[in-house]
Amino acid sequence: MNKVLDTVDQRTQLVGENRLELLLFRISSTQLFAINVFKVKEVVKLPAINMLPGSNPKIYGVANIRGTSIPVINLREAIGFSKIPITDDSNLIITEYNRSVQAFLVGKVEHIINMTWSDIMPPPKTSGAHNYLTAITKVEQEGMTHLVSIIDVEKVLAEIIDYDVSLSEGVLDESLVPNMPGRKVLIVDDSSTARKQVRDTLSPLGIEIIEASDGLQALRLLQSWADNGTQVADELLMMITDAEMPEMDGYKLTAEVRADPRMTSLFITLNTSLSGSFNKAMVEKVGCNEFISKFQPDLLVSVVQDRLRNLLAP
């Protein structure tokens, strides 16, 4: 199975073209789940697992992968199902999110599919605010249409890892604090957990937060403002956008904004859990102003302060 990931570097050309590749897997016999290939380091058959007494109940244990100890999360249990049975089909999907490496215990790993973000839809609004999906899509297999649920891994991790939104001493520039209340920031992210993390960092500073759950929704909002005569770059201190989102990804969103002369000067920060070195190249390609890997409240506030400082400079 790991051979399907060997050419992942060649797949980076898909990003920025509103395309993605999904790794399909099962945690039940009847339903397909997926995560983005770019989050996946490798897939391995289930090795020996060492238990961790007293750990979070969603942590299955620790696996030693080539000399590195990696926490293993029982994904089925983490999203509210009963504990996954261990079978010959059990695998670990080893991922890197927010600068941390973890493995997800799943069942059978199927294959990789290539799709456009326009084929990826938000979960139904009737599914409630506490579901563990960022999106859904459909695939054809053996003449049948199957629904695929794309896991909100950031929500899963946030319930296991305590993300601290407090700022380190000396990060906040007290001279800028009086100029923050009333400033507006647009947050674009399909993960409600990721939006909350940014909101909980910036709202206490008096910054007004506007939210969009995908790139197309954000673009339509910006276009509606521009159509009504609003100077978008003056209305917003900045837009902070995720990379991966249903219908339109953050790279395509940025390219569309830059192509519209009514809002081309909007300050845009890419805020994503994908690889830092890769995203820096993409920032240059599509024209973002800054890149922040999730989740770093100190760096987020520093970027906001630098932008405000430049606006206030004589």
For position 280, what pLDDT does the model report? 64
- Mean pLDDT, range 115-137, rounded to an integer: 79
For position 15, what pLDDT does the model report? 52
Give the three-state DSSP class for 312. Answer: helix
User: Do 175 and 150 form a contact (C-beta atoms < 8 A)?
Assistant: no
- Mean pLDDT, range 19-36, rounded to an integer: 87
- Say whether pLDDT at 6 is over 50: no
- Say whether pLDDT at 192 is over 60: yes
Q: How far is CA 215 from CA 13, 77, 124, 226, 245, in A?
A: 19, 31, 17, 16, 6
Q: Among candidates 207, 202, 208, 206, which has minimal Cα distance to 171?
A: 202
Highest mean pLDDT out of 45-49, 215-219, 241-245 = 215-219
The residue with tokens 């954000």 is 218
- Mean pLDDT, range 38-48, rounded to an integer: 88
- Say whether pLDDT at 12 is over 80: no
- Which amino acid does the sequence have at 164? D
- Mean pLDDT, range 223-248, rounded to an integer: 93
> What six digits make up the tokens of 289?
């102003």
pLDDT grade, residue 116 (50/70/90)? Answer: confident
For position 129, what pLDDT does the model report? 60
- Mean pLDDT, range 262-269, rounded to an integer: 95
pLDDT grade, residue 4 (50/70/90)? Answer: very low
- Mean pLDDT, range 186-200, rounded to an integer: 91
DSSP assignment of 136-180: EEEEEETTEEEEEEEE-HHHHHHTTS----PPPTT-S-TTTGGG-
CA 85, 93, 247, 139 dihedral sign is negative
Q: Among candidates 31, 312, 218, which has minimal Cα distance to 210?
A: 218
- Mean pLDDT, range 180-207, rounded to an integer: 93
- Mean pLDDT, range 195-207, rounded to an integer: 93
Q: How far apart are CA 167 and CA 180, in angstroms?
A: 16
- Which amino acid does the sequence have at 190? D
Q: How far apart are CA 57 and CA 66, in angstroms?
A: 25
**Torsions phi, psi of 33, nearest 5?**
-125, 165
- Mean pLDDT, range 218-234, rounded to an integer: 96
> What six digits make up the tokens of 301?
């506030």
Q: Calculate the average pLDDT of the chain.
A: 85
For position 222, what pLDDT does the model report? 97
pLDDT grade, residue 10 (50/70/90)? Answer: very low
b/e sequence 109-140, b meaning 16+ C-beta within 10 Å: bbebbebbbebbebbeeeeeeeebbbbbbebe
For position 2, what pLDDT does the model report? 47
Q: How far apart are CA 239 and CA 288, in angstroms?
A: 10
For position 271, what pLDDT does the model report? 87
Q: How far apart are CA 26 and CA 147, in angstroms?
A: 12
- Mean pLDDT, range 76-96, rounded to an integer: 86
For position 154, what pLDDT does the model report? 83
Q: How far apart are CA 222 and CA 220, in angstroms?
A: 5
Q: Considering the entire predicted model, what is its pTM?
A: 0.78
pLDDT grade, residue 9 (50/70/90)? Answer: very low
pLDDT grade, residue 165 (50/70/90)? Answer: confident
- Mean pLDDT, range 99-125, rounded to an integer: 86
- Mean pLDDT, range 220-238, rounded to an integer: 96
Q: Which residue has the higher pLDDT, 42 or 223?
A: 223
